[in-house]
Structures are given as structure tokens and as C-alpha cells.
A and B are shown apart, each in its own frame.
Chain A
Amino acid sequence: MMNLVKWARLRSPWLLHFNTGACNACDIEVLAALTPRYDLERFGVLLKGSPRHADVLVVTGPVTRQVRDRLLRVYNQMPDPKFVVAVGTCCISGGVFNGCYNVYSGLDSVIPVDAYIFGCPPKPEAIINGVAALLKKLEES
């Protein structure tokens, strides 16, 4: 029974895209990964609008102090089991904004993160690779 559930989980990760103050470059790359050219639906990936429907929270951009509460609220609204992917350098460490008075140094200082995708911005291939790495980690757990 647990095997069946695990199999299902690996094959239908639904994404929720959240922008914590990105410059839009990472957002465009995330959307590009969902276009027909890369067609993530092959792996069962769908983009969902509501946090209640999603499994994977894809976060782009440096986490600002203003967005922290909203980010936490969206994170808490997602049903378990939930996973977080940090896309782009800003999201991982704050990037060029690291040390600013209004920016946290990385997403993992606010919520637990399961996968990091480097790049400024990362290519769609890198994002797909990151999601695949997350799924692999899930499979081994």
C-alpha cells in the first residue's frame, strides 16, 4: 500500500509558483519550463493556482521581510506531504541582495527547503533537473 502511494507521489508532483520579490527572470524561466517545448506534463507535473492543491512550492527571488508572512501563510496552507524548491541564486542565499537590511539570507532561514537550483537565472533544463533531483530524493527516502 505504501509502495502504491509512493509511486503515485513520484508521478504527480503539482507545482505552486511563488515569487518572493524576484526580478522576473527566474519566473520567466520557470514558466518556460512549463511550455510545450519542455512539456513537464510528461512527468505528471501540473501548475496549480491554489496552495491547497499543490505538492511542491517553487520559490523564486530573495525573501524580503515584507513577503515573509505571506510566504509562511502559503506554506502553511499546503497539505502534507509538501516540498519546497528554491530556484535561483537570490532565493538560495539572497544573491546580490545578501546583507541588505530588508532581505533574509536565503529561503532556508524561513522555511525548510528540499532542493536548490542554482543559476541567475537557471535554465529551464536546470529547473527540470532540480525537480528530477527532488523526485529522486523522494524515491530513496
Chain B
Amino acid sequence: MEWLLELLQILIFPGIVFAIVLAFVYEWFDRKIYAKLQNRVGPLYTGKSGILQPFADFVKLLAKEDITPGEVDKPLFNALPIVALTLSLMGFLALPITGLRGIISFNGDLIFLIALMTLICIVIIYSGISSSNRFSTVGAERAALQLLGYEIPMMLSAISIGILAGSMWVYDIVNTQVSGIWFLVGPSILGFAIFVLCGQAELERIPFDIPEAETEIVAGWLTEFSGKKLALFRLTKDVELLYLSGLAVALFLGGPSGPVISGLEPILYPIYFLLKTLFVLFLLTTLRALFARLRIDQMVNFSWKYLVPLAILQVLLVRVIV
């Protein structure tokens, strides 16, 4: 029976089905808040106040013709959407949701989680190059350059949390926050800001949507993808959004913990998780609505001139405190 329970955990709750449903809901929330900030209504008529809109988009894309252009690298082009979705779902499984540890949890998994994000970015670079389209190639180049910009400050801010908790295990990090205070309060607020900004760059959302800049390079690395493949890539982006806000919650906002009535933890923990991730998502959406797109050189400049020194300062601060 043990294995059956584990299988159900991985497949349904809090595993893959839960992740996908939540990813759709979060995309809806994102679009709705974004529309509100632009003085619009956003999706309205698909389901109750448009909540089924991302699902409708997904089904429509699944049912569309799936074109594989003649010039592309076929094995890569067909496999990469599935690889990307698998990677982002794997990251989601490692987040603490129903308890203080995720389904995948081992000593040092923070490194694994950050490596997963880099892997998704590498998948994006490959999918751009395998399309053999000039816009896709430019998009892939920009994605690679952007990766050089945001990855190091993001890792440094995660490492500063590791130093605070004295461990690179997400379970230990959450546990330290449960017995003490959230790492957001106090010296790590700078780290949180850096993490959220770099997360925005990782997700390729508006101040940093340089790799898929619509007005310059059509749709960047996504240009040649249609039908099912596009649907999978969009779902990957949604799950990644959820995963990133979940990771920010685990590292800075005390994971799924909160005031609990004993015995009700399995119900209350997911609720706290939802509330906290929605807060992080709200921050990400506000950033998206506030800024215009940077140029790639401005982004890399900003990252190396300001973000990296600030992240090093953050590590030093934490080192002094501990």
C-alpha cells in the first residue's frame, strides 16, 4: 500500500495533476491582475470570470494542426517540448506543499532545484537553434546571453539562504524558518528582491522578455512551434511560474507553514502555500505591468553592474550575522 500512496501523491495530489490545474489557475490570475493594472477586465466569458481561459487556450492548441517545418532538426524539435514540461514538473515535485518536505527531498536538493531552472533555459536555447529559423536563432542567442546575466545573482541569493539555515536542503531551510522567523524579515529582504527579479528574467516576462520580444523577433525561440508543441511550451511556462513562486515561498516566506490547529496540518499547509505563492505571483505580475522591455545589453549591464554586487553584499551580510 505504501507504494500506491506514493504513486497517488506523485500523480494526483500534490503531484502532476494538481500542478497542471494550479498552473492554469495561476495563469488566469496573472492575466487578470495584469489586465486590472492596465485598466482592463481581462478574460471574462470563459467560465466564471474567465477562469477557464488558459484551459481553453490549451485545448485549442492541442487540437490544432502540428506543423514540423522541413528545415528543422526533427528529433530535437519534437522531443524538446516534452523534456521542458518534464523538467518543470520535476521541479514542482520537490516543493514542500502538504508538509515541510516535498515528494522528492534529499540533502542538497536546493542545488538540484536551481540546476533544473538552468536546464529549462538550456532546453529553450536548443529549441531555438533546432528550429533553424532566423528569428528563433536570435531568440536562442538572447536567451543564452540573458542566462549569463541572471543566473549568478539568483544562485548567490539562494546560497545566502543556505548559509542562514546552515544547510542546502530545502527541508532544513523551511524547518529553520518554522522554528525561528521567516528569512524575508531582516537581512534577506535584499535577497528576496534579487530572487524575484531574476525569477522574472528566468520566466522571460516583461522587463526581461528579450528572448521572445514580439515587436522585434516575431516570437523569438517559440516562432516555429505550433499546435501541440506550443501548448506544451505554454504549459511549461505556467508550471515554471508556479514552481518559481513556490521556491521563493520555500526559501523566503517559510514554506507552507503558518498558524496551525494540530491535526489539520494536511489541509492548512496547502492553503498557506496557495496564499503565499499568490502573493509572490502578485509581485511578479506587478513587475510585468510596471516596466517596458529592456534591451539585451541593458539587461546584462544592469545584472553585472548592480545585481551581482548586491547579491555578493547579501552573502557578506548573512555571513556577518551567522
Same complex: yes
Binding site for B on A (CB under 8 A): 4-5, 7-9, 11-12, 36, 39, 41-44, 48-50, 52-53, 55, 77, 79-81
The 6 closest A-B pairs by CB, nearest first: A8-B59, A79-B65, A52-B226, A42-B44, A80-B65, A49-B214
Which residues of B have CB within 8 Å of A44? 43, 45-46, 50, 53, 56-57
Interface membership of chain B positions 121-136, coded 1 if the CB is closer than 8 angstroms to chain A and 0 otherwise: 0000000000000000
Interface membership of chain B positions 261-287, coded 1 if the CB is closer than 8 angstroms to chain A and 0 otherwise: 000000000000000000000000000
Interface CB pairs A-B, < 8 A, 6:
A5-B59, A7-B59, A42-B42, A53-B219, A77-B67, A80-B65
Q: Is the interface of B mostly helix, strand, loop or mixed?
A: loop
Interface membership of chain B positions 45-79, coded 1 if the CB is closer than 8 angstroms to chain A and 0 otherwise: 11000101101111110011111000000000000
- Asked if B305 is at the interface of the complex by the 8 Å CB criterion, the answer is no
User: How far is A11 from B55 in the complex, measured between Cα atoms in Å?
Assistant: 10
- Asked if B118 is at the interface of the complex by the 8 Å CB criterion, the answer is no
Q: Could you say which of B44, B55, B60, B66 has the most chain A C-beta atoms within 10 Å of its C-beta?
A: B60
Interface membership of chain B positions 200-233, coded 1 if the CB is closer than 8 angstroms to chain A and 0 otherwise: 0000000000000011001100111111001000
A5 pairs with B45, CB closer than 8 A: no
Which residues of B have CB within 8 Å of A52? 67, 219, 223-226, 230
Contact A79/B227 with A5-B60, A11-B56, A12-B57 known, Cβ cut-off 8 Å? yes
A11 pairs with B53, CB closer than 8 A: yes
Q: Could you say which of A4, A44, A50, A55 has the most chain B C-beta atoms within 10 Å of its C-beta?
A: A50
A36 pairs with B218, CB closer than 8 A: no
- Asked if B298 is at the interface of the complex by the 8 Å CB criterion, the answer is no
Shortest CB distance B232–A (Å): 13
Shortest CB distance A56–B (Å): 12
A12 pairs with B64, CB closer than 8 A: no
Q: Which of A11, A48, A49, A80 contacts B64 (CB 8 A)?
A: A80
Considering only residues 219-270 of chain B, those with a C-beta below 8 Å from chain A are 219, 222-227, 230
A9 pairs with B63, CB closer than 8 A: yes
Q: Which of B31, B38, B222 contacts A36 (CB 8 A)?
A: B38
5 A-B pairs besides A8-B59, A41-B41, A48-B214 with CB distance below 8 A are: A39-B35, A41-B31, A52-B224, A53-B225, A55-B60
Which residues of A have CB within 8 Å of B214? 48-49
User: How far is A2 from B31 in the complex, measured between Cα atoms in Å?
Assistant: 27
Shortest CB distance A18–B (Å): 13
B64 pairs with A7, CB closer than 8 A: no
Which residues of A have CB within 8 Å of B35? 39, 41
A53 pairs with B226, CB closer than 8 A: yes
Which residues of A have CB within 8 Å of B218? 49-50
